[in-house]
A and B are shown apart, each in its own frame.
Chain A
Amino acid sequence: MAAAGAAATDLEVVRGKRAALYFAAVAIVLGLPIWWKTTETYRAPLPYSEISGLNALQLRLMVPITVVFTRESVPLDDQEKLPFTVVHEREIPLKYKMKIKCRFQKAYRRALDHEEEALSRGSVQEAETTLAEPQEQAEGSLTVYVISEHSSLLPQDRMSYIGPKRTAVVRGIMHREAFNIIGRRIIQVAQAMSLTEDVLAAALADHLPEDKWSSDKRRPLKSSLGYEITFSLLNPDPKSHDVYWDIEGAVRRYVRPFLNALSAVGNFSVDSQILYYAVLGVNPRFDPASSSYYLAAHSLPHVINPVESRLGSSAASLYPVLNFLLYVPELAHSPLYIQDKDGAPVATNAFHSPRWGGIMVYNVDPKAYNASELPVKVEVDIVRVMEVFLAQLRLLFGIAQPQVPPKCLFSGPQSEGLMAWELDRLLWARSVENLATATTTLTSLAQLLGKISNIVIKDDVASEVYKAVAAVQKAAEELASGHLASAFVASQEAVTSSERAFFDPSLLHLLYFPDDQKFAIYIPLFLPMAVPILLSLVKIFLETRKSWKKPEKTD
Chain B
Amino acid sequence: MAAAVPLAVLALLLLGPGGWGYAEPLRDSLREELVITPLPSGDVAATFQFRTRWDSDLLQEEVSHYRLFPKALGQLISKYSLRELHLSLTQGFWRTRYWGPPFLQAPSGAELWVWFQDTVTDVDKSWKELSNILSGIFCASLNFIDSSNTVTPTASFKPLGLANGTDHYFLRYAVLPREVVCTENLTPWKKLLPCSSKAGLSVLLKADRLFHTSYHSQAVHIRPVCRNARCTSVSWELRQTLSVVFDAFVTGQGKKDWSLFRMFSRTLTEPCPLASESRVYVDITSSSQDNETLEVNPPPLTTYQDVILGTRKTYAVYDLLDMAVISSSRNLNIQLKWKRPLENGYIHYQPAQDRLQPHLLEMLIQLPANSVSKVSIQFERALLKWTEYTPDPNHGFYVSPSVISALVPSMVAAKPVDWEESPLFSSLFPVSDSSSYFVRLYTEPLLVSLPTPDFSMPYNVICLTCTVVAVCYGSFYNLLTRTFHIEEPSTGGLAKRLANLIRRARGVPPL
Contacts and interface: CB of A to CB of B under 8 A. Distances in A.
Contact of B6 (A351, A356, A375): A351
Given A346-B6, A353-B3, A536 B481 contact: yes
Contact of B1 (A353, A383, A414): A353
Interface in B440-489: 459, 462-463, 466-467, 469-471, 473-474, 477-478, 480-486, 488
Interface in A280-309: 297, 300-301, 303-305, 308-309
A362 to B, nearest CB: 14
A532 B474 contact: yes
Contact of B488 (A5, A317, A347, A532): A5
Nearest to A394: B11
Contacts of A346: 6-8
A382 interface: yes
Contacts of A42: none
Contacts of B194: 276
Interface in A369-414: 375, 379, 382-383, 386-388, 390-392, 394-395, 401, 412-414
A9 B70 contact: no
A54 interface: no
Interface in A295-343: 297, 300-301, 303-305, 308-310, 312-317, 338, 340-341
B273 A312 contact: no
Contact of A387 (B10, B73, B79, B459): B10
A197 to B, nearest CB: 21
A532 B476 CA distance: 11
Give the interface residue-count category, chain B.
35 or more
A387 B3 CA distance: 23
A447 B5 CA distance: 37
Given A246-B23, A270-B63, A301 B2 contact: yes
A314 B21 CA distance: 30
Given A271-B64, A346-B8, A528-B473, A413 B13 contact: yes
A5 B489 CA distance: 12
Given A246-B20, A271-B75, A350 B7 contact: yes
A290 B473 CA distance: 96
B257 interface: no
B274 interface: yes
A388 B13 CA distance: 10
Contact of B66 (A8, A20, A271, A353): A271
Q: Which of B1, B21, B23, B70 has the most chain A CB atoms inside 10 A of its CB?
A: B1
Interface string A521-551: 1001101110011001000000000000000
A391 B10 contact: yes
B499 to A, nearest CB: 26
B15 interface: yes
Contacts of B477: 23, 532-533
Given A253-B16, A312-B71, A276 B274 contact: yes
B104 interface: no
A273 B474 CA distance: 77
A301 B6 CA distance: 10
Contact of A352 (B4, B474, B483): B4
A339 B462 CA distance: 71
A309 B477 CA distance: 71
B7 A391 contact: yes
Interface in B14-28: 14-16, 18, 20-23
A394 B270 CA distance: 42
A412 B14 contact: yes
B6 A297 contact: yes
A315 B6 CA distance: 29
Given A23-B480, A254-B16, A312 B10 contact: no
Contacts of B469: 525, 529
Contacts of A379: 21-22
A269 B71 CA distance: 13
Interface string B471-511: 10110011011111110100000000000000000000000
A316 B76 contact: yes
B485 A9 contact: yes
Interface in A9-48: 9, 12-13, 15-17, 19-20, 23
Nearest to B73: A315
Given A16-B483, A353-B4, A312 B15 contact: no
Given A20-B481, A276-B194, A271 B5 contact: no
Given A277-B196, A375-B273, A413-B14, A248 B7 contact: no
A215 interface: yes
User: Shortest 9 CB-CB distances between A and B: which pairs?
Assistant: A528-B470, A524-B466, A277-B198, A525-B466, A316-B79, A273-B66, A300-B4, A391-B11, A316-B75
Given A271-B75, A354-B5, 10 more contacts: A249-B18, A300-B6, A315-B136, A348-B7, A390-B13, A391-B11, A395-B7, A524-B462, A528-B471, A529-B469
27 contacts: A19-B481, A215-B3, A244-B22, A246-B18, A248-B65, A269-B63, A274-B66, A276-B198, A277-B198, A303-B4, A304-B1, A315-B76, A316-B78, A340-B6, A341-B6, A348-B7, A348-B10, A379-B21, A387-B15, A388-B7, A395-B7, A413-B14, A521-B462, A524-B463, A524-B466, A529-B469, A529-B473
